[in-house]
Structure 1
């Protein structure tokens, strides 16, 4: 019998125990370290993601309303500019947006313009075929039309016309107003801070001598009575216009002493005519007196 066999037999269980999976140490998985290319790629992905998130439109009711009102304002301004440039033919909403180079507008906003915003706007005129054009407040297009309108307002006692309304009707409103010369009067309203244009009728221009103006401005009559004023005017060859007291209307009594006037007409005395055509045959008979 070989002497090595007992020793190997004793060594075999020990080797088997060492070779079992439980006794073996866990293998560590080594991951490769990130390289510079991987770092650049991750940074590029982060920037692209941030740009994508910033480009997304998050619509809220308030932002949607602001976008609609902004679109409406742009459309009205475009139609007004077309009107001032002499283009009066109406356009559809799609044609208006194409002229404005707005090609990616939402369908809901386009429907809102066609059905609600533009038809209800007082500055927009709706044609029978559903197209839209600008509607100014006054139908004036040049200098002559503006002159006639100002004169009409003056004759009817309607006052002046605001500059903003004229600027919506006539192109280069300042030049047109200046071309009217003295017939137009430009006034700035101190309360509203708006310009108002009035018609200046030369018939009412009163030419006064400069010497009289200087004399008038140099005289102070705040603390002077009527007698001194009359004396001052007489010394300088000026006369005062007097009115007879008889031509003045009679003063009415106080309200408490007034008598209520009657609405009845005064009675007229009626003269009855006698029967002149039968006076020849009339006879008088004495009355029988009872005794």
Structure 2
């Protein structure tokens, strides 16, 4: 190659490198701008610090089912202690310990101490208000106290006592009832099928003829009042029942007060001595 051309080429390169070059900015179209914005990813904000939640016992309200389940467990335990012959008063903490309920919330403990146990008819409280014990329906200790109670109900005309009330009040109730034997009567109430205990008063027992019992059972008196029964007896010549019912007392008639007041005539005394008596006032 010609050496003159090579020198000219090298001189052109040096001149080209020495001359500064300014590049013109191209106008950005709207399509290009939208594309760039879409490619940009949104910045994630820093997560806010999570505050630790504190448990407020004052705002804690346990469900009513949990409350009453706890109360029922305590009452059942106290009743069983009484029926086993142990009715020593216990504190609330002792009862919760015996029933495995020491994990109760403070609000539940307060509800038991201030409302539930004090208002429960099966639980009584000591005079200092610190201990509780079981309160039976009837204060029964043995079969003699049960017989006296049934006798009192019979004399006052109060009828019988449900068996379940006796079983909740008397330790070994079934054994005591069996030991009393014919001294008491147990009947089943037809309305709710509950068993009722009555006192068997042997002093008023008498024997009734079988023939009279047949007539008594065949006589239908449903829907008849005393007046109709009395009328039926009179038709058949039976008048001995008249004096059994209460007598109709006639009301007393009040005296009529005089409409006009008349002057009252007073009786004069010593009229036959009118000629002898003299007046000394003058």
Q: d(CA) in 1 for partners of 2:117 and 2:242?
A: 67
Q: Deviations over 1:50-97 (max 9, x none)?
A: xxxxxxxxxxx9983222211111100001111112222211111012
Q: CA deviation at 1:132?
A: 0.9
Aligned in 2, Cα 1:108/1:146: closer, same or farther, shift over 3 Å?
Answer: same
Give the SS at the match of 2:186: strand
Q: Deviations over 1:95-140 (max 9, x none)?
A: 0122223343333322221122111211110112321111112111
Aligned in 2, Cα 1:265/1:245: closer, same or farther, shift over 3 Å?
Answer: farther
Q: d(CA) in 2 for partners of 1:119 and 1:72?
A: 11
Aligned in 2, Cα 1:250/1:154: closer, same or farther, shift over 3 Å?
Answer: closer
Q: CA deviation at 1:147?
A: 0.8
Counterpart in the other structure of 2:116: 117
What residue ranges of structure 2 are gaps of 5+ in the alignment?
A: 1-59, 221-231, 258-265, 277-282
What residue ranges of structure 1 are gaps of 5+ in the alignment?
A: 1-60, 231-239, 253-257, 267-271, 285-291
Aligned in 2, Cα 1:104/1:203: closer, same or farther, shift over 3 Å?
Answer: same
Q: d(CA) in 1 for partners of 2:210 and 2:140?
A: 40
Q: CA deviation at 1:250?
A: 9.4
Question: Normalization by structure 2: what TM-score?
Answer: 0.57
Q: d(CA) in 2 for partners of 1:192 and 1:63?
A: 36
Counterpart in the other structure of 2:133: 133
Q: Deviations over 1:267-290 (max 9, x none)?
A: xxxxx8774xx5774569xxxxxx
1:48-197 aligned within 5 A: 64-127=63-126, 128-197=128-197
Counterpart in the other structure of 1:52: none
Q: d(CA) in 1 for partners of 2:273 and 2:213?
A: 88
Counterpart in the other structure of 1:262: 253
State the number of aligned residues.
198
Q: d(CA) in 1 for partners of 2:138 and 2:271?
A: 82
Give the SS at the match of 1:119: helix
Aligned in 2, Cα 1:265/1:163: closer, same or farther, shift over 3 Å?
Answer: farther
Query: Could you say which structure has the greater relative contact order, defined with CA pairs below 8 angstroms and 6 or more residues apart?
Result: 2
Question: Normalization by structure 1: what TM-score?
Answer: 0.55
Q: d(CA) in 1 for partners of 2:139 and 2:82?
A: 11
Q: d(CA) in 2 for partners of 1:72 and 1:130?
A: 17
**Please, which of 206, 213, 216 is the counterpart of residue 210 of structure 2?**
213
Q: Deviations over 1:241-266 (max 9, x none)?
A: x65999x99999xxxxx9x8521289
Q: d(CA) in 1 for partners of 2:93 and 2:114?
A: 13
Counterpart in the other structure of 2:41: none
